[in-house]
Every structure is written in C-alpha cells, then in structure tokens.
Amino acid sequence: MGGVRRVLIVGGGVGGLTAATSFAQRGVDVVLIERQPSFDIPGVGLGQPANALRVYQSLGFLDEILQTGFSYDRMHIFDASRKLIAEHVFLLGDETLPAFCALSRLDLHRILLRAAEQAGVEVRLGVTAAKIQDEPDKVSVQFSNGESDTFDLLAGFDGIRSTTRPHLVGTAFVPRPSGYGAWRVQAPRPDYVRGMEFLQGIGSKTGGMPLNNDLMYVFHIRPEAPDAWFAEKDLPDLFRERLSQYGGYVAEVSASLDANSDIVYSPMEPLLMPWPWHRGRVVIGGDAAHTFPPHLTQGAAMAAEDGYVLAREVLRNDTPLAEGLMRYSRDRYARCAFVYTFSRQWLDDEQSVRTAEQMEVARAELAMNASARIAASDRILNSPI
Ligand SMILES: Cc1cc2nc3c(=O)[nH]c(=O)nc-3n(C[C@H](O)[C@H](O)[C@H](O)COP(=O)(O)OP(=O)(O)OC[C@H]3O[C@@H](n4cnc5c(N)ncnc54)[C@H](O)[C@@H]3O)c2cc1C
C-alpha cells in the first residue's frame, strides 16, 4: 500500500469524513483534525446524487441516508410564476440506488461522523495544523495546541479557504468572486414538491429541493456585489425583496420570512485547481481543490468521491505513493473539470436572462433542450469512478 500506514485528514466536512472512513476501513490509522471546537453545521440541505450515494453504499451507510432523506428521480424547470417549462427524469442511479436523495446538512454530517468513528478514526476538535513539514519519508505536523506528530500522508479537505492548498501552490490559486450569490432557507414542504425544482426568473433563478417529508429548502441565485455582506437582522427583508417576482410556494415562503428564519447567504466563488493536487506527501480534495456553482448539486458529491478515490488509489497494492497520488489527481481533475464547466455555463446562461424577451427565448430553448442537456451530464456522472 505504498507504505501508507498513518494518515492525517485536515477538515471534518463531507470530503474529510469520507476520506477518513475510506482510509480507516482499509486498515489505515487515521487522525482527523477539525478547526471548530464543536461541529457547527448550518441548517440547510444537500442533494446527494447517485454518484455520491454509490460512495456511501461502498462504505456501508447508504441505508441510513436513504431512511433519513427524501429520494427523488426527476427535476422540473418552471418560470417565475411556476408555470412548467420542462421536466427531466434523471438517468442517474440503478436498481439499488435512487437518482437523488436530499437531506439536511446536519443529518448527513451525523451519519458521516458516526461512520468515521465506527471505522476507528480519531477525531480531534478545535485543532489545526500550524506547521507542515513535508519530508521524503514522512510529513511532520505541528498542531495549533502545541503537540506534534508524523504521518505518511496529509490530506487537506479543509474547504474553500483551505490552508493546506498554499503548501502546493502558494497563493496563486484562490477562489475568486463570480459576481453571483446564493440565498438559502429551510421551509415546510408542500406535498406537491417531490423533486428538484428550478424557477427561471428574469435576472435571477430560484428553486426548491425536498429534504424530508416535512421540510424543503428554497434557494435563490442572483448577481450580488463581489464583496456583498449583509447584517443578519436585514436578511429577511433583503431576501423577501429579491424574491418579489416569484409566485407559487416561493411567494408563501417569502411572506413567512422573519427574524427566526435560518437564512444563509454565500457568495459564489468558483475554483478549479490545476492538477496535480499533491506535492510530496501533501494532497488536497473537496472544496479545497474545486468549488462549483451549485447547479448540478455535485460539490459535496465530488468531495465524497475525492475522499473515496484518494484512499483507493493510494492503497492500491504495491503502488508507490507518488503514482497513487498522480492517478488520484488525474482522474479527479478530469471529472471535476466537467462539473465545473457544465455548472458555470448553466449559471452564466440563466443569469443572462435579463428582459421579458430574453425570458421567452430561454423558455423555448429550455423546453426544447434542457432535458437532453442534463441527460448528457447524467450519463457522465453516472459512470463508474
Ligand atoms: C448554495 C450552495 C448549495 C449547494 N448545494 C449542494 C448540493 O445540493 N449537493 C452537493 O453535493 N453540494 C452542494 N453544495 C456544495 C457543498 O456544500 C460543498 O461542495 C461541500 O460541503 C464541500 O465539502 P468539503 O468537505 O470539501 O468542505 P467543507 O464542507 O467546507 O468542510 C471543510 C471543513 O474543514 C474545516 N477546516 C477548515 N480549515 C481548517 C483547518 N485549517 N484545520 C482544520 N479544519 C479546518 C472546516 O471547519 C470544515 O468543517 C452547495 C454549495 C452552495 C454554496
């Protein structure tokens, strides 16, 4: 297994926890450090497509995910008044897997953390890697609590503001503002919302995703100043203003927003690190290596795939570490570059609908081609990793 017996994972998100479980289940001694003193998961949801579910199936906790979340097999594209434009039945999944299962981030995190602990991962909270020294036969780490240790490999799954990434490329590659932002809130699920929905508006897009029998999550994507910052007390009014053109359940959710609504705003800062995603014994994955516009709902899914493929390639029989890491980088870069390109283009296309005339052009185009376009993506993403 390339001499890898002991691994440090930096970051306890979807990517880090999946990587940790994947290594530990294959007999590696794994320490996972997480900067937060306790896990603090924002209360919005995640759609997990079949390619992510396949990873969870391989690691043995798919059933728990399916029992907790809401499975669906199609998406609809509407206009802002929720008049149907197109339906797409996903070509994802197989006889053992639904196309999608969506669940709250908190529920997914609980399941991933339990799986990591059951596999024997040692989780240390409130700790970061203060100093990383990459040497030919080991990587030495000084932790923020003053302790130090050595590992055969350090895998940084430490998110969009990764402090591991600079060990590979300095500050040359950082997420850059796209000029768009995403607003999100949880809301009660009307019975008729049974799959992913996009509502194409003029100058923005909104949508919904079921999370379980009772809850859904409403999102809204629009141009925002690159340095936009909003005070928490202003979020309900600002979100309501932004949703004013939308009808159907979006209008109801909008009317219900108040100081108790758990509204989350995030700027969109896409990033695709050129490969290789490693240097010596330090490697990155998940949002540390790539962040996408959320259109294909593949960010956490790609992070989970990264974690799984990293362990598999590094531990392949008799493979020198450098070769395993290169295979990981090559395969993951190609797949993530597809998600990055497809979702960026979708973002740009939808956000360029700025007038009523452009909306009519988009309506006709989406009715004619949207399903075929998403089917092409499904075929790629449903292929084995
Ligand atoms: C609006 C929106 C909607 C989305 N919807 C979906 C969706 O439906 N489906 C989907 O698959 N993805 C979705 N995503 C993407 C998804 O949220 C991310 O891609 C995913 O969470 C990335 O996981 P990660 O483990 O790489 O990073 P993170 O989840 O960011 O985890 C990184 C962890 O590392 C910790 N950390 C950071 N620095 C350090 C350090 N120095 N030392 C120790 N720990 C550290 C952090 O505290 C954090 O816990 C969406 C994203 C957005 C913005």
pLDDT per residue over 90-139, tens digit each?
999 999 999 999 999 999 999 999 999 999 999 999 999 999 999 999 99
Say yes or no: CB of residue 163 within 6 Å of ligand 1: yes
Q: 232-251 pLDDT, tens per residue?
A: 999 999 999 999 999 999 99
Report how far residue 167's alpha carbon sits from residue 283's, in angstroms, rounded to the nearest whole number.
9
CA distances from 1 to 80, 140, 313, 330 (A): 54, 20, 9, 19
Residue 148 has pLDDT above 50, yes or no: yes
Sole residue written with tokens 């289940």: 25
Closest approach atom of ligand 1 to CA 45? 8
User: What CA dihedral angle connects 199, 344, 326 and 167, to 10 degrees?
Assistant: -110
Say yes or no: CB of residue 44 within 6 Å of ligand 1: no
- Confidence grade of residue 43 (pLDDT, cut at 50, 70, 90): low
The 10 Å Cβ neighbour count of residue 137 is: 8
User: Does 191 reside within a domain?
Assistant: no
**For residue 44, what pLDDT is reported?**
81
Sole residue written with tokens 């991962």: 121
Say yes or no: CB of residue 210 within 6 Å of ligand 1: no
Provide DSSP, 201-257. -SS-EEEEEE-SSSEEEEEEEEE--TT----GGGHHHHHHHHTTT--HHHHHHHHH-
Q: What share of the chain is helix, strand, coil (3-state, %, to 5)?
A: 40, 25, 35
User: Does 366 reside within a domain?
Assistant: yes
User: Does 135 reside within a domain?
Assistant: yes
Helices (H), the chain: 14-25, 50-59, 62-68, 105-118, 166-169, 235-242, 248-256, 299-314, 321-351, 356-381
Average pLDDT of span 288-300: 97
Residue 318 has pLDDT above 90, yes or no: no
Average pLDDT of span 217-222: 97
User: Does 118 reside within a domain?
Assistant: yes
Report how far residue 165's alpha carbon sits from residue 288's, in angstroms, rounded to the nearest whole number.
7
Q: From ligand 1's centre to the CA of 288, what distance in Å?
A: 9
Q: Which of 101, 105, 287, 344 to mutate to test the pocket of ligand 1 (most atoms within 8 A of CB)?
A: 287
Strands 282-284 and 153-156, how do they pair? parallel
Please give the backbone phi and psi of residue 70, each rounded to the nearest 5 degrees, phi first: -120, 115
Whose CA is closest to atom 37 on ligand 1? 158
- Confidence grade of residue 2 (pLDDT, cut at 50, 70, 90): low
Mean pLDDT over all residues of the chain?
Answer: 96
**For residue 317, what pLDDT is reported?**
86
User: Does 153 reside within a domain?
Assistant: yes
Q: Which of 9, 22, 33, 34 to mutate to test the pocket of ligand 1 (most atoms within 8 A of CB)?
A: 34
Average pLDDT of span 69-87: 97
**For residue 1, what pLDDT is reported?**
47
Q: From ligand 1's centre to the CA of 176, what distance in Å?
A: 16
Say yes or no: CB of residue 8 within 6 Å of ligand 1: no
User: Does 205 reside within a domain?
Assistant: no
Please give the backbone phi and psi of residue 19, each rounded to the nearest 5 degrees, phi first: -60, -45
How many structural domains compose the chain? Answer: 1
User: Does 133 reside within a domain?
Assistant: yes
Q: What CATH number is associated with residue 346?
A: 3.50.50.60
Say yes or no: CB of residue 35 within 6 Å of ligand 1: yes
**For residue 45, what pLDDT is reported?**
86
List CB contacts of 111: < 8 A, sequence separation 6 or more.
61, 64, 65, 68
Report how far residue 303's alpha carbon sits from residue 283's, in angstroms, rounded to the nearest whole number.
13
- Confidence grade of residue 375 (pLDDT, cut at 50, 70, 90): very high
List CB contacts of 108: < 8 A, sequence separation 6 or more.
14, 46, 48, 65, 69, 300
Report how far residue 155's alpha carbon sits from residue 145's, in angstroms, rounded to the nearest whole number.
19
3-class state of residue 179 by DSSP: coil
Closest approach atom of ligand 1 to CA 303? 26
Return the DSSP state at 110: H
Helices (H), 103-202: 105-118, 166-169
Q: From ligand 1's centre to the CA of 84, what distance in Å?
A: 32
Say yes or no: CB of residue 312 within 6 Å of ligand 1: no
Containing domain of residue 159, as a range? Answer: 6-175+270-381
AA letter at 145 = N
User: Does 247 reside within a domain?
Assistant: no
Helices 235-242 + 248-256 axis angle, to 10: 160
